[in-house]
Amino acid sequence: DHSMRGKNILTWLDYTQGEVSQLLAQAQYVKENPYSQSLKSKNLAMIFEKSSTRTRVSFEVGMEQMGGHALYLNSRDIQIGRGETIADTARVLSGYVDAIMFRTTSHEKLHELAVHATVPVINGLCDMYHPCQALADIFTILELKGRLGGVKVVYIGDGNNVAHSLMVLAAMMGMEMVISAPEGYQPDPAITEKAKNLAKLHGGAVIIENNPEQAVVDADVIYTDVWTSMGQEEEAEERLKDFEGYQVNALLLKGAKTDVSFLHCLPAHRGEEVTADVIDGDHSVVFQQAENRMHVQKAILQAVIGWK
């Protein structure tokens, strides 16, 4: 099936449940069959405006395992750093590579790159979304729980890029998504509205519940992310105060189902959004989740670049 060939992956809002299910199935297949020549001689350019461990390594190794190659481009080192436009960069790279991954500070820049590139553009994290992360998240949940429909996922903390993408995918897959964030840190209202509509369409639910103790009742999955995202370092002290009461700790986990799984996109700050005993404890699946980044991204690359 080549229906996704040539498409961008900017946000899952542009995708259907059928397409996402197809990617999950293909991710399962490549996890079991990691080495192939499916993207032989294909090249992926990866532009990073921000730090990365998982995204960088999983994309690079993933391309290699499929017979292709990935180029790590720090935005400070390429001409973008000296003022070359994103549009010109998109046009030039499109002449060399088969897809471009972009980790950027703003969704507008991502959009700009996608408009001017003639090859697929993959969002490797922006201020609003982190779609590759969310696909790995639901893939992990499917592995653990054997289903997605009806699974209750509770996200505690900052209504950020990671929360937005997870909310959209969870809603699309008919899951029950609860977000518990302090006042002022709730997910974007427009994205929440879109996710709620998707949930209605697919038999899921998107619920905002400010009280974390209430939110985690009957949770199958508890998820959190850092309180201070990349680029927000100046707000760190203020955020530490504002997120008081939103830490995922052993007491909070007790309110969920006994077989609750703990997920975190990583990197984590032990003692802030999560305690060490939780993230290093029996319920935590964060390293399985991190590994799955590579498997789902390989499926994405095969789908958008197109394989033989």
Catalytic residues: 103, 130, 133, 225, 265, 293
Q: How far apart are CA 287 and CA 118, in angstroms?
A: 35
Size of the site for ligand CP (CB under 6 A): 8
269 annotated ligand binder = no
**Beta-ladder partners of 101:** 46, 122
22 annotated ligand binder = no
Q: How far apart are CA 121 and CA 83, in angstroms?
A: 21
131 annotated ligand binder = yes
Is there binding between residue 285 and ligand CP (CB under 6 A)? no
Strands in 28-134 per DSSP E: 43-48, 69-74, 99-103, 121-123
Binding track, positions 20-59, relative to ligand CP; x by CB under 6 A: --------------------------------xxxx----
For residue 177, give the 3-state DSSP assignment: strand
DSSP state of 262: E
Q: How far apart are CA 112 and CA 49, in angstroms?
A: 15
**Minimum distance from residue 55 beta carbon to ligand CP (Å):** 3
In SS3 terms, 193-223 reads as HHHHHHHHHHCCEEEECCCHHHHCCCCCEEE
In whole angstroms, how far apart are CA 165 and each of 10, 123, 168? 10, 11, 5
Q: Which of residues 127-186 bind ligand NVA (CB under 6 A)?
A: 160-162
Is there binding between residue 230 and ligand NVA (CB under 6 A)? yes
DSSP element (H, E) containing 224: strand 221-224
123 annotated ligand binder = no
Binding track, positions 98-127, relative to ligand NVA; x by CB under 6 A: ---------------------------x--
**Minimum distance from residue 11 beta carbon to ligand NVA (Å):** 15
Q: How many CB atoms lie within 10 A of CB 307?
A: 18
Report the residue closest to ligand CP, judged by CB.
55
**Minimum distance from residue 10 beta carbon to ligand NVA (Å):** 16
Q: Which of residues 220-279 bind ligand CP (CB under 6 A)?
A: 265-266
Q: How far apart are CA 100 and CA 8, in angstroms?
A: 9
Is there binding between residue 265 and ligand NVA (CB under 6 A)? yes
Binding site, by residue number, is 52-55, 79, 103, 130-133, 161, 225, 229-230, 265-266, 293
Residue positions forming the annotated binding site for L-ornithine = 161, 225, 229-230
In the complex, the residues that contact ligand NVA under the rule CB under 6 A are 125, 160-162, 225-226, 229-230, 265
